C-alpha cells in the first residue's frame, strides 16, 4: 500500500513513519510536512507544504494513495480556542478533504487523544475541538475513518524528535502503567492493520490499538 503521513518531524509522526518504512505491506510513504524530515529511504518521498490550509483540492502530488495517517498536531497549552481550532480542526479537515478528493477509496486515520470529547460540549477546550474534528472526519465519506486515542506513547528505536523533558519518563509508563501506555511501534502497526483488515469501531482507545497491532 501507499501511505501519506503528516507530522513526521514530531514524535508521533516520526514513530509511525519508522514503523511504516519497516513494514513489508507498505510500498511507499509520502511525508507531507512544513520542513524536511532529514531522513533518506528508498520508499520515502517528501512534499514540503508551508501551509496545509493553502493546499488545492486538485493537488496531484497527493494522488494515488491508499491511506493517510494524520499525525500532525500541537499542544493546547497556553493557546486560545480560536487559534487551537484553526490548527487542530480547520487544518485537519481541509487536508482530509484534499486527499479524499484525490483518493476516493482512501482510509484516513487521525491521531486524536485519550479523553477526547465526542459530545463537543465539555469544559475541556482541546477535548471539545478534537471531538468536533473526529465527528466531522467520520462524515466526509472516506472508505474508512479511524480516530486513534492513544495515551502515553513510548518512542521507537532510532527516533530523534523526542522532547528533552519527555525522556526521563520513557521507562516509567510501560512498566508501571501498561494499560495507559503504548509504543509507537504498536500505533504504527495498528494503523497499517486498520487499512488491511479494518476495525469494527471508528474510535480506537488504547486497548483497541493494542488489539489491532497484534
Going by C-alpha positions, the residue among 188, 205, 213, 208 that lies closest to residue 69 is: 188
**Region of poorest pLDDT, from 74-78, 109-113, 120-124, 167-171:** 167-171
CATH number at residue 57: 3.40.50.720
Residue 179 pLDDT > 70, yes or no?
Answer: no
**Region of poorest pLDDT, from 58-62, 68-72, 128-132, 157-161:** 157-161
pLDDT of 173: 56
Local structure of 94: helix, strand or coil: helix
Q: Which DSSP string do the residues of 126-167 spell out, in sequence order? A: HHHHHHHHHHHHHHS--SEEEEE---EEEPPTT-----TTTG
pLDDT tens figures, 21-55: 999 999 999 999 999 999 999 999 999 999 999 99
Question: Rounded to the nearest 10 degrees, how much is the dihedral formed by the CA atoms of 147, 47, 183, 159?
Answer: -160
The beta strands (E) that lie in the chain are given as 2-6, 28-33, 44-48, 67-70, 107-111, 144-148, 152-154, 181-183, 203-204
pLDDT of 30: 98
pLDDT of 39: 92
pLDDT of 169: 57
Number of domains comprising the chain: 1
pLDDT of 168: 57
pLDDT of 160: 74
Place 154 in a pLDDT band, splitting at 50, 70 and 90: confident
Mean of the pLDDT values across residues 155-160?
74
Question: What are residue 11's phi and psi, to 5 degrees?
Answer: -65, -45
Residue 130 pLDDT > 70, yes or no?
Answer: yes
Residue 3 pLDDT > 90, yes or no?
Answer: yes
Residue 175 pLDDT > 70, yes or no?
Answer: no
d(CA 13, CA 5): 7
Q: What are the contacts of 135-140 at 24+ separation with CB within 8 A?
A: 136/89, 136/93, 137/92, 137/93, 137/96, 137/108, 137/110, 138/202, 140/93, 140/96, 140/97, 140/100, 140/108
Record the pTM. 0.91
pLDDT of 151: 80
Mean of the pLDDT values across residues 80-90?
96
Give the three cell numbers for residue 135.
Answer: 465527528
Residues 6 or more apart whose Cβ sits within 8 Å of residue 92: 70, 72, 110, 133, 137
Going by C-alpha positions, the residue among 86, 94, 38, 35 that lies closest to residue 68 is: 94
Where in the sequence is the domain holding 30, given as residue range(s)?
Answer: 2-213
Question: How much is the mean pLDDT over the chain?
Answer: 92
pLDDT of 158: 75
Give the three cell numbers for residue 92.
Answer: 485537519
Amino acid at each position: 500500500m501507499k501511505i501519506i503521513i503528516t507530522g513526521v518531524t514530531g514524535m508521533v509522526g516520526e514513530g509511525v513513519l519508522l514503523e511504516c518504512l519497516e513494514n513489508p505491506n507498505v510500498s511507499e510513504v509520502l511525508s507531507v510536512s512544513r520542513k524536511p524530515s532529514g531522513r533518506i529511504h528508498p520508499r520515502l518521498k517528501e512534499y514540503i507544504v508551508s501551509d496545509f490550509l493553502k493546499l488545492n483540492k486538485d493537488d496531484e502530488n497527493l494522488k494515488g494513495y491508499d491511506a493517510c495517517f494524520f499525525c500532525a498536531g500541537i499542544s493546547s497549552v497556553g493557546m486560545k480556542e480560536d487559534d487551537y481550532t484553526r490548527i487542530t480542526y480547520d487544518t485537519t479537515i481541509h487536508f482530509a478533504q484534499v486527499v479524499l478528493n484525490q483518493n476516493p477509496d482512501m482510509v484516513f486515520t487521525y491521531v486524536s487523544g485519550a479523553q477526547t470529547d465526542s459530545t463537543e460540549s465539555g469544559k475541556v477546550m482541546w477535548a471539545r475541538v478534537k471531538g468536533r474534528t473526529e465527528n466531522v472526519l467520520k462524515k466526509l465519506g472516506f472508505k474508512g475513518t479511524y480516530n486513534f486515542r492513544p495515551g502515553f506513547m513510548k518512542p521507537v528505536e532510532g527516533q530523534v524528535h523526542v522532547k528533552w523533558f519527555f525522556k526521563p519518563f520513557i521507562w516509567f509508563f510501560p512498566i508501571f502503567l501498561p494499560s495507559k501506555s503504548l509504543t509507537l511501534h504498536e500505533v504504527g502497526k495498528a494503523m497499517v492493520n486498520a487499512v488491511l483488515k479494518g476495525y469494527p469501531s471508528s474510535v480506537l482507545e488504547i486497548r483497541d490499538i493494542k488489539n489491532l497491532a497484534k
